[in-house]
Amino acid sequence: MKTLFIINPISGYSNKEDIPALIKQGLDHDRFDYDIVMTAHRGHATALSEKAVNEAVDLVVACGGDGTVNEVAKAITNTESALGIIPNGSGNGFAMHIGMGRNTTKAIQKINKGTFEKVDTCKVNGAFFLNLAGIGFDALIAYKAENEKKRGFQMYATMVSREMVKFKAETFTIKTDDEVIHAPFSVVAVANAAMYGYNFTIAPTAKLQDGLLDIVFIKEASILRTLGASWRMLNNSLPKSPLVEIKKSKRVSISTDKPYYYHLDGEGYTFDEELHFEVDPMSLNLLVPDVNAL
């Protein structure tokens, strides 16, 4: 199988592993004929993946975090090439959702025995995302994290603590397939998969093959009530919180009266026009762990 490993050398908050050496040592060389390339800047993984598609590479493996996975996946969606993942970011939310875990050596073994499935991808105003998108407090944190030199749980925890005390929920207009909602929310997450990263599960009912978005509404509340609800993300009980409601829809549109923050797979942006989210069903070939081989 013709394979390309695309490594983001600055992904995550540390880079202690020699990933090329681990690939050489652990990969099944009878199954995979491979090359390795390093990214040099943001967007480079997309360009490398587009080249791989043109060269009929069978499997393109993103070695990095959710941002790197996004860059690779957007280039190979609706092509014959497949996406593989070696998690090497700070959060690794999508890799965790599909069962690749966090350990590089184990992830390589899972690639050796992996199987292929078709999964959904998503877009908002034409921009691609694979894992999670949304607006509100999480998007604010993602946007401000762009200027941080180091990533990692401690950085995010510090930023959340600092921003939460001054955060005010914004009023949004949300249009789903069935209704229009106009209310203040702390977070409106639009999910294809379940996890932010660090085992924080925002959308526990999200499925990659159902052709639907999971829209998670976290209502405006005091800091203490919001913190109480947020810790439910660690045990998959977030829907039990009275602050949380989850709806499913093929499409969703979100607008507000003033410019605000949104994120796509953890990358923060701002918007001042209505955001239109939609699913592209079964559009990506994805290598997933073979549960019978684990």
* CATH code, domain carrying 164: 2.60.200.40
| Residue 154 shares a structural domain with residue 246 | yes
The reply to whether 96 and 143 lie within a common domain is no
Tokens of 132: 């999670």
As a whole number of angstroms, the distance between CA 233 and CA 201 comes to 5
Q: Output the pLDDT for position 14.
A: 47
- Of 112, 146, 162, the residue at which a domain comes to its end is 112
* 197: CB partners within 8 A, 6+ apart: 65, 66, 89, 90, 91, 92, 93, 96, 266
Same-domain pairing of 162 and 265? yes
**Is residue 175 within 8 Å of residue 253, measured between CB atoms?**
yes
Would you say residue 289 lies in a domain? no
Residues 250 and 221 in one domain: yes
Q: Are residues 12 and 149 in the same domain?
A: no
Q: Which domain holds residue 86?
A: 2-112
Give the number of C-alpha atoms closer than 13 A to the C-alpha of residue 98, restricted to the C-beta side: 31
Indicate whether 175 and 74 sit together in one domain.
Answer: no
pLDDT at 236: 87
Query: What pLDDT was estimated at residue 13?
Result: 45
**Claim to verify: residue 223 and residue 86 sit in the same structural domain:** no
pLDDT attached to residue 108: 97
Q: Could you report the average pLDDT of every consecutive run of 10 residues in the chain (294 residues)? A: 94 67 96 97 96 98 94 98 93 92 94 97 97 92 73 70 80 97 95 89 96 96 80 88 95 95 93 97 97 68
Residue 161 lies in a domain: yes
Domain with 79 in it: what CATH number? 3.40.50.10330
Q: Is residue 165 situated within a structural domain?
A: yes
Place of tokens 């014959």: 80
Phi, psi of 292 (to 5 degrees): -80, -10
The H-assigned helical ranges of the chain are 19-26, 44-54, 66-76, 93-98, 104-112, 137-145, 153-164, 223-230
Q: Which of 277, 218, 227 is nearest to 251 (CA)?
A: 277
pTM: 0.90
Residue at 122 is within a domain: no
Tally of domains in the chain = 2
